[in-house]
Amino acid sequence: MSHSHRPIAPDISMGSPVDIPADEKLPADAPLYDRVVEALRTVYDPEIPVNIYELGLIYRCDVDGDGDVEIDMTLTAPACPVAGEMPGQVQQVVAAVDGVGSVHVELIWEPSWDPSRMSDDARIALNMF
């Protein structure tokens, strides 16, 4: 699903999820996985004005038949100042999605993140072409 109508690098205060306007939200009957990804796209790295999903910080996102979600994620660097907070923020936004059961977020460092993991939209937003 393309989110080209929504800015990938909005003018926001880093550190808190972005609200999705009601008329742009996925419908309640959209697949749960898609709604989880939509929630992930509301979380931004505090140092880079691009959401964590487009940055490629989400390595794995599994949603089972009961609505339980398991996420493996990383940060741009181990010394990232939000290393202790970001997984909790991800857990909160995903847990708030209707139909989600339990949420487990694991912060992993291998493989390490590098800019090749970013989406094309993120590269454009950051002038990295």
111 inside domain? yes
Compute φ and ψ for 122, nearest 5 degrees. Answer: -65, -40
pLDDT band at 8 (very low <50, low <70, confident <90, very high): low
Task: Calculate ∠ Cα 129-117-48, nearest 5°.
Answer: 70
The predicted model scores a pTM of 0.83
What total number of domains does the chain contain? 1
Tell me the pLDDT tens digit for each residue of 33-52.
Answer: 999 999 999 998 777 888 99
79 inside domain? yes
* Per-residue model confidence (pLDDT) at position 81: 74
Sequence-ordered alpha helix ranges (H) in 1-129: 32-40, 52-55, 86-95, 120-125
pLDDT band at 80 (very low <50, low <70, confident <90, very high): confident
Domain limits at 60?
22-125
CATH of the domain at 76: 3.30.300.130
44 inside domain? yes
71 inside domain? yes
1 inside domain? no
Candidate from 4-13, 85-94, 108-117 with smallest mean pLDDT: 4-13
82 inside domain? yes
CA distance 10 to 6: 8
- Looking at residue 51, the DSSP 8-state letter turns out to be B
pLDDT band at 114 (very low <50, low <70, confident <90, very high): very high
13 inside domain? no
* Per-residue model confidence (pLDDT) at position 90: 95
The larger pLDDT score, comparing residue 9 to residue 79, is at 79
10 inside domain? no
